[in-house]
Chains A and B, each alone.
Chain A
């Protein structure tokens, strides 16, 4: 149904979710972990909710040798294990009917032939009209060659869209080169650089919180906010991804993308509307104005042996596939400034790391203290500044710390929390980020994807942070697994008379 309510009077008042046009989704890296844990369960969830196109096909492509039947069986197991919905045979049968697989082996020409032929066949069988979405769930090194292949195969009949997983490049130069390659063959509107954090409901709720509530935006600035703390903490280690992580580290794995996107959403100006260009224009302005005052405002760390959830875990250098004297950082903390009228001199303390005390992604907005509390010092000693805490994961929601009188005859002020838990007010299950993002890409809506200039601004900052790291060799490990990072991360905040929020 493509007519609008203005053209079709019967559509007026109907809440018909737009359904993507017929298309084939090609997954490069179809035998990988991401496909099984995230992509296939997301596609199944969309199928359960009738959100996939009426005429739809999935083509898996990977180096592993598999038949169509093997592929379907493997994907079925993935859905049964990881999907958020109960398994329904009828939904699965409909989805599996359009699933095919091709092995990417030998030279690229052969790949193109086998995949190209298969796509023609699928287009005919499933009437998908030559519309192709390519999902690049492959290591960064494999992306450029596949982009060239896809460009050579670009359908003249239908449209082509590319969803590219992070990391997009490994520094500014490589990101620019990849962007240049994409620009040569594709329009920016055809490229969807995915950062799955942007698909999370709570991240999008940041926009609702700021721009749908009249009470927050007037105080969302340097006049009222003392500082901002953003934490993206993981309690897990590298989970067998040594080959990738040794090159990336925490700076490129999380800081460059998830963390900087959270900074951008927290600090951005109100967009004039919620179209992809307006939102991304505002985010890129923030990224362009970010700076860190100098090398002393960045702390890196690497975990040693320690305890997580009561169990002893190895240090990073003891993980399989990791060099025994590696200098790769598993923790980064930084003080950032946003150089604009709204945020001048307001520090954004950010940190991310692996094997920290617990899994938690939060944005804490700490407001300035009341200018003159008219209470005796002892009455207000347990009073802390107001903090608006946004829980991105887990326990999605937010809380506001306020001072309240403790019951009793005296006047003693205590800090209490007003909590909003997503799961308590809205009892529908939150969709997984990948569901939203895959659907948006099929619909051609790039609002929640990262634009070329955003990526380049992110890498420019990361390169500036990493440059001094080439010159010195840190004394790693410098924090025990299961703690909140190295002591120098505390010093970074203490030097300014502040502290990381208590967990």
Chain B
């Protein structure tokens, strides 16, 4: 075992020297220039391949990586909008504690502090359910709709309106 220990110490010493040597050799102006040339050639090949790929995908009606990324980006944008709505809701609930007590949301907010995201989703559903109760949540609902309107998110505003209407119709 002591031989292994000696070997480890010896290797550690030479490893450090070897690393310094490699770094010194790599830190060379000529090498930088060669790397730059290689990089430009590599880029040129990549561009040609990408263009060819796009051409073939177009002919075969297949999505490219950029098309898939564009869809993913749309999903991300939706997620961001939901995030902003969630922020606004929380802001409103902070602003309007009386609305909280009216709707029995006090419990929900307290629970939010100790539950995971999945539980939050359930709570959000409960909040929306309670929002659809015409008698108790009218001012809060109007406020949310006004704020969404100010944000210029007509689509989301309509979606929330429809969702609330549907919940109202189904008697939930």
Say whether A associates with B. no
